[in-house]
A and B are shown apart, each in its own frame.
Chain A
Amino acid sequence: MTTTTTVNGQLCDLASGTTVATLVDQWCPSPRGVAVALNGEVVPRSTWELAEVAPGDVVEIVSAAAGG
């Protein structure tokens, strides 16, 4: 069983209790236009401060890119 967290396809060692809000802060210049999925489920923006990322979790942080 994996004990590291995957964020955007990269393995990361996160401090325990790291919240989604903290991750967004680390990865994005601004939280505007950003969304997060935790283990395949969308994490509502309103819960970012409370949602904690656990070891083995898979996180996707996305925004708009040229396309479509």
Chain B
Amino acid sequence: MTDAALTDPFMVADTDVGSRLLLGTGGMTSPESLAMALRASGASLATVAVRRVDPATRHSLVDLLDELGIRILPNTAGCFTAVDAVLTARLAREAFATDWVKLEVIGDDRTLLPDPIELLVAAEQLVDDGFVVLPYCGDDPVVAQRLEQVGCAAVMPLGAPIGSGLGIRNPHNIELIVERAGVPVILDAGIGTASDACLAMELGCSAVLVASAITRAENPALMAAAVRDAVAAGWAARRAGRITRRFVAEASSSFEGMVDPEESVGR
């Protein structure tokens, strides 16, 4: 690993986030499993949903994350309208004493794809209200640019629908988003395994957010470690400057100095 890859800080809104792997807690099968995965991932930031308290619940997710020294990034998961998302974000700010919010406003409950119109409305309101907004968006470069223009601190395009594990469906669009973005691009949703996370970083993303691929893996802690390594590898590969893709071959061994077969055999 190069020193540059190790020491380049991951900055969002003038804050050094730390790890370029963000963990989503969605899909966790148990607090113990989540704790092991979080430790193995090296994540500094983890998303949580905002939900009605259940008096029957014994464990506290807030306490668990606090014990592990991991910052909470509240998510407006499950909101269908800007009104709901804005209220949820405000509740989260009050509950967790953070101005940061991952803004999720979905269009339908089958695909969980973001509703870009409600998302933009909510983003603008929350930015005006002093939030640091990290919007979960589709892989449309135009929407990503609009979100940045209204003041979002990052953009978080999906690779594929939440929980689908389909990886990055449109790498070209992700590259387009990266090319134009003046804020960090964090690939969020659809990652299925380590290589997807590596690809995201090679495409120029600053970080990835992974939930289901880790929490729902057969061995979440092992997958978390694998994704952590993949993010580091992809980041370094991007910094290393890959070769261009060629339609035909470019010999890696020069033809000069080769033995002439006709001369060698003799006459």
- Residues in A lying within 8 Å of B, measured CB to CB: 8-9, 27-30, 32-37, 40, 42, 44-45, 60-68
Whether A68 contacts B53 in the complex (CB less than 8 A), given A32-B63, A33-B95, A35-B92, comes out as no
Cα–Cα, bound, A36→B92 (Å): 10
Contact pattern, B 18-30, Cβ under 8 Å of A = 1, otherwise 0: 0000001111100
Of B34, B77, B96, the contact of A68 (CB 8 Å cutoff) = B77
User: Which residues on A sit within 8 Å (CB–CB) of B63?
Assistant: 32-33
Minimum CB–CB distance from B126 to chain A (whole Å) comes to 13
User: Which residues on A sit within 8 Å (CB–CB) of B93?
Assistant: 35
- Please name the residue on chain A nearest to B22 by beta carbon: A68
Whether A63 contacts B62 in the complex (CB less than 8 A), given A8-B53, A9-B52, A42-B87, comes out as yes
Q: Cβ of A68 and Cβ of B94 under 8 Å apart?
A: no
Q: Cβ of A64 and Cβ of B24 under 8 Å apart?
A: no
Minimum CB–CB distance from B259 to chain A (whole Å) comes to 64
Q: Cβ of A62 and Cβ of B62 under 8 Å apart?
A: no
Counting CB contacts under 8 A, is B239 at the interface? no
Whether A34 contacts B77 in the complex (CB less than 8 A), given A66-B25, A66-B34, comes out as no
Minimum CB–CB distance from A21 to chain B (whole Å) comes to 14
Minimum CB–CB distance from B109 to chain A (whole Å) comes to 14
Kindly identify, within residues 1 to 57 of chain B, every residue whose CB is under 8 Å from any CB belonging to chain A.
Answer: 24-28, 34, 47-53, 55
- Please name the residue on chain B nearest to A44 by beta carbon: B94
Q: Cβ of A66 and Cβ of B60 under 8 Å apart?
A: no
Counting CB contacts under 8 A, is B190 at the interface? no
Q: Cβ of B50 and Cβ of A65 under 8 Å apart?
A: yes
Q: Cβ of A63 and Cβ of B53 under 8 Å apart?
A: yes
Whether A37 contacts B95 in the complex (CB less than 8 A), given A66-B25, A68-B47, A68-B73, comes out as no
Minimum CB–CB distance from B132 to chain A (whole Å) comes to 15
The 8 closest A-B pairs by CB, nearest first: A67-B49, A68-B75, A68-B47, A33-B62, A35-B95, A65-B51, A64-B48, A35-B94
Counting CB contacts under 8 A, is B148 at the interface? no
- Given contacts A65-B48, A66-B26, could you give 15 more A-B pairs where the C-beta distance is less than 8 Å? A8-B53, A27-B55, A28-B53, A32-B63, A35-B93, A36-B91, A36-B94, A40-B87, A64-B48, A64-B65, A66-B27, A67-B48, A68-B73, A68-B77, A68-B102
Minimum CB–CB distance from B199 to chain A (whole Å) comes to 23
- Please name the residue on chain B nearest to A10 by beta carbon: B52
